[in-house]
Amino acid sequence: MSGDHGAPRPDYAARRAALRNLLVENGVDALLVTDLVNIRYLTGFTGSNAALLVYSWDTAEDRTVICTDGRYITQVGEQVPDLRAEIARASARRIVELAGEWQTGRVGFESHVVTVEEHHAFVEQGTGLELVPAPHLVEQLRLVKDAYEVERLRAACAAADAALATLLERGGLRPGRTERQVARELEWLMFEHGAEAVAFETIVATGANSAVPHHRPTDAVLAAGDFVKLDFGAKIGGYHSDMTRTLVLGEPSDWQREVYELVYAAQKAGREALKPGVACADVDAAARSVIEAAGHGELFVHGLGHGVGLRIHEAPGLAKTGTGTLLGGVALTVEPGVYFPGRGGVRIEDTLVVRDGGPELLTLTSKELTVVD
C-alpha cells in the first residue's frame, strides 16, 4: 500500500455522490469504472487490479461494489472499508456478471480505457445489459482539486524544490559530472525529502542536449558554459509534481541571457493568464505570442502545459488546440520552451493551481537565471 502519510481520508462517498449526478445526466443506470486511477479517486484503493460499479440511484450504496483479486483481500478491506468487495481475478467481468444478475439495464463503461477485446468479452457474457460508452466522467470530477488533493500536490512540489536546493548546496551540479549522475542524485534527494516515487523519468540535459525537449539522461558530461535543463518531479500520496529549471554553468553568454529572458517572459505571461473562465487555448496564446513576437515561434515545439494530479499528464491541456475553459481549483503546469537544435534550449515549468485572485504557485524554486559557479 502506498502513500497515506497519515493524512486524513478524503470523502470518497462524496466523490461517488458527485459521480451519481453525472450518471443521471448521461442517462445510465450505473457506471463500470475500470481505470485504476479513477478507482483510487473514488474509493482510495491502490491495488493493481480492480473494477468498480457505481449506481446512479443507489444513494445508500447498497449495490456499489468493488472487485479485486486474492492478492488484495486484506488491502481492499483496509482501504475501502465502506464498500462491498468481491474477489475475482477477472474483476471487470465479475462486475458485469453481477450487474447482469441485478438486471441493471444501461451500464456505462469507460470507453477511453476498455479495450476492444475486453468489450467483446463483456458482450459475450450475454448478461442482457445494454453497455454504453461513457468516457471521461470521473476525469471531469478530477479536474478540480479539493483541499486534500492540493495539500498532496504541495507536498510533492516541496520535495522537488528541496531536492534541487540540496543538490545545489552540495555542489552536485558541476562540470565533469554526467547527466545520469545528476539525474540519479536528484531522484535520490527527492526520496530523501519524502517522495514515494519519482513522478516521471527525470530529465537532465546539458549543452546541446538541452535543445531536446524530453532528452533522456546520458553519460554526456556537464561542461562550463552549458545550459543544464532539469525537468523532474516527485510523487506523494499518488499526486505528482512537475518542475523544470534551466541553469547555466558559469557566466552566461549573451544569447543564453536573451533566450532565458524570453522564456521567462513567456512563462510569466502564461502564469498571469491563468484565471477561472479563461479559455485553455487563450492561456497557451498568451505565452506563445511572446515567443512569436521575438521571431522564435517555430522553436516552441509543444503545448504550454497540462493538468496534473493523480496522473502526471491529465486534463486540461493548455495548447493551441486546447478546449474548454479553466475553473478555480484546476492544477496544471505552465512550461514554455525555446529550443535551438544543436545549440541548446530553455524551458521553465511550474505547477500551479488556478484561483480567483491569481494562481497559487506550488513549485517555489526561484526562476531567476541561476548561474552555477
> H/E/C letters for each residue in 13-76?
HHHHHHHHHHHHHCCCCEEEECCHHHHHHHHCCCCCCCEEEEECCCCCCCCCEEEECHHHHHHH
- 279 CB neighbour count, 10 Å cutoff: 15
Contact between 216 and ligand GLY by CB under 6 A: the answer reads no
**302: nearest Cα among 324, 275, 333, 261:** 333
**351: nearest Cα among 321, 314, 324, 296:** 314
- The residue sitting closest to ligand GLY, measured at its beta carbon, is 231
Contact between 102 and ligand GLY by CB under 6 A: the answer reads no
Stretch that binds Mn ion, among 77-85, 148-156, 224-232, 259-267 (CB under 5 A): 224-232
Binding track, positions 334-363, relative to ligand GLY; x by CB under 6 A: -x-------------x--------------
The site partner of 179 among Mn ion, ligand GLY, none (C-beta below 5 to 8 Å per kind) is: none
Considering the complex, what minimum distance in angstroms separates the CB of residue 258 from ligand GLY?
A: 23
β pairing state of 344-347 and 337-340: antiparallel
Contact between 200 and ligand GLY by CB under 6 A: the answer reads yes
Contact between 333 and Mn ion by CB under 5 A: the answer reads yes
**DSSP-based three-state secondary structure for 107:** strand
Would you say 67 or 186 has its CB closer to ligand GLY? 186
Binding track, positions 297-336, relative to ligand GLY; x by CB under 6 A: --------------------------------------x-
The site partner of 35 among ligand GLY, Mn ion, none (C-beta below 5 to 8 Å per kind) is: none
Give start and end residues of each alpha helix (H) in the chain. Answer: 12-25, 36-43, 73-79, 91-101, 116-124, 137-142, 147-169, 179-192, 254-272, 280-293
The identity of residue 148, as a single letter, is Y
Stretch that binds Mn ion, among 29-37, 154-162, 246-254, 329-337 (CB under 5 A): 329-337
The site partner of 185 among ligand GLY, Mn ion, none (C-beta below 5 to 8 Å per kind) is: none
Residues 6 or more apart whose CB falls under 8 angstroms from that of 274 comprise: 283, 326, 332, 334, 352, 354, 358, 359
User: Given candidates 110, 231, 284, 314, which one binds ligand GLY under the rule CB under 6 A?
Assistant: 231
Binding site for ligand GLY (CB under 6 A): 200, 231, 242, 335, 349
Binding site for Mn ion (CB under 5 A): 231, 242, 333, 349
